[in-house]
Amino acid sequence: MRIISALALSAFSASALAAPFTFKGSDTLAGVMTDAIQAAGLAEEIQYVGGGSGKGEEAIVAGQQGIAPMSRELKKEAAAKAAAAGIEVVAHPIALDGLGVFVNASNPVTKLSLPQVKAIFMCEVTDWSKVAGSTRSGAIEVFRRDDNSGTTDTFKSIVGIKTFGACVKVLPETPDIANETATNANAIGYAGLSATRAGNRPLSLSKTDGAGSYLPTVHNVRVKLYPLARTLYVYEARGSYSLNTAELKLLPQVLDRSFMDPIVQQNDFITLD
């Protein structure tokens, strides 16, 4: 009896101390997912570790997790790889975002065209004195997210960049872009609107030189007047992958608009409608 009781206590202790299931995905959505987990009362069962949309995509396709928050669409080659393994990856849009091109609040430049943005991020224009609307000079300090970021994929695709210029410095997470542009007078960098701080601001953007420019307001993002508007997703694995207990508890909450919309707005994103 004592042996049985000791074994039972040991099993209970191991279960109580078991680490929460961790899953990867977009760093842009880190605040949203962490807040959703906390609000759902699941912090002891599941934990979001971010890492970038690319990491979430790799993990869901490999059958390592059944939920992947992403700030871009699943790549066709990833969907094909998943299908070959019997995994159907289903997209669930959860929010909208305007991918912002941020500068310091003291910067006199208020708007850029996408061709101008491209020239800056390819290091063809390297001094603020060469930028239309600028009344200052000084080296442009250009910052970007890393290659695992869905934000980087979206930015490159829409702006038309294949390879960034050598002057561009890599920062791993959205808060890093936020902090750099908020404190560095010569900085420019792209990130989701959650990167907005008191010391920085997103630029008004136009698709082409001379066209009308738009700020990433709720209306402009929803109707896609803002050139860098995007949809944010949570992808779900079906088919040969079975969601674990923690995932099964979290996913319905994430897909419940009445539950998620307030969290989306609190994290400076835009609800679907």
> For 32-79, what is each residue's pLDDT tens digit?
999 999 999 999 999 999 999 999 999 999 999 999 999 999 999 999
pLDDT tens for each residue of 204-235: 999 999 999 999 999 999 999 999 999 999 99
Instruction: Based on the fold, state whether residues 68 and 162 are members of the same structural domain.
Output: no
For residue 23, tell me if it sits in a domain.
Answer: yes
Size (the chain), residues = 273
State the residue range of the domain holding 196: 100-227
Q: Nearest-CA neighbor of 233 among 218, 219, 251?
A: 251
Say if residue 186's pLDDT is above 50.
yes
**Cα 57 to Cα 205: distance, rounded to the nearest angstrom:** 29
pTM above 0.95, yes or no: no
Q: How far is CA 66 from CA 49, 57, 61, 62, 100, in A?
A: 14, 10, 9, 10, 30
Cα separation of the two ends of the chain: 61
Asked whether residue 127 is assigned to any structural domain, the reply reads yes
| In-domain check, residue 104 | yes
Residue 9 in this model has a pLDDT that exceeds 60: no
Total domain count, the chain: 2
Distance from C-alpha of 190 to C-alpha of 81, rounded to nearest angstrom? 30
* Cα dist from 204 to 6, 98, 117, whole Å: 66, 11, 11
CATH, residue 185 = 3.40.190.10
Identify which of 141, 163, 167 has the alpha carbon closest to the alpha carbon of residue 152: 163
Q: Is the pLDDT of residue 134 over 80?
A: yes
If asked whether residues 90 and 112 sit together in one domain, one would say: no
- Percent of the chain past pLDDT 70, that is, above it, reads 94
Question: Which residues partner with 207 through β-bridges?
Answer: none
